[in-house]
Amino acid sequence: MTQQTWLTQEAYDRLRSELDYLTTTGRTELANKIEAAREEGDLKENGGYHAAKEEQGKQEARIRQLNDLLRDAKVGEAAASTGVAGPGTVVEVRFQGDKETEKFLIGSREDHSAPIDVFSPASPLGGAVTGHKAGDKVTYTLPNGRNASVEIVSVAPYVL
């Protein structure tokens, strides 16, 4: 099952523009760079050729990543709030033992247009709160293997 990603229109347009550039001008520029380096002679000891080929591999990986992300993305405003945390919602949590709360958006880390922190639903915290509502207490495993607990204080749709 593919993970659907929620993006603002601005983020979608920015990522689409990056993909369009990489698949047209970007590929042409790299092909020219590789050809110029190839003409310098012996490929075994040609640092410029190997650097350009490595750059080409990274660019093709980024193109695949963008294609996958944009193909499955849900674009636009978040759905009307059902009070359940999920992509496109702002979640306010209180970590166990803290008095202060923290807010974050559940969405794509590619969406840099959000003025608050963005957690992917695939991240430990984003995944733990997804499907829960205000008042729920959730425990999840941190990357270091320890457990952390949070109380969900509020869930609201993300509004630009």
- pLDDT band per the 50, 70, 90 thresholds, residue 147: very high
Per-residue exposure over 48-67, b if at least 16 CB sit within 10 Å of its own CB, e if not:
ebeebbeebeebeeebeebe
What are the start-end ranges of the H helices in 22-88?
Answer: 27-38, 47-72
Confidence band of 1 (pLDDT split at 50, 70, 90): very low
CB 134 within 8 A of CB 83: yes
Structure tokens at 45: 């000891």
Identify which has the larger pLDDT, 35 or 112: 35
Q: What does the pLDDT average to over 35-55?
A: 84
Q: What backbone phi and psi angles, to 5 degrees, belong to 5?
A: -110, 135
pLDDT of residue 57: 93
pLDDT at 135: 94
Triad 24, 27, 32: Cα angle to 5°:
125
The residue among 57 and 44 whose pLDDT is bigger is 57
Q: What's the pLDDT score for residue 114?
A: 64
What's the predicted TM-score (pTM) here? 0.56
**Domains along the sequence of the chain with CATH:** 5-75 (1.10.287.180), 89-157 (3.10.50.30)
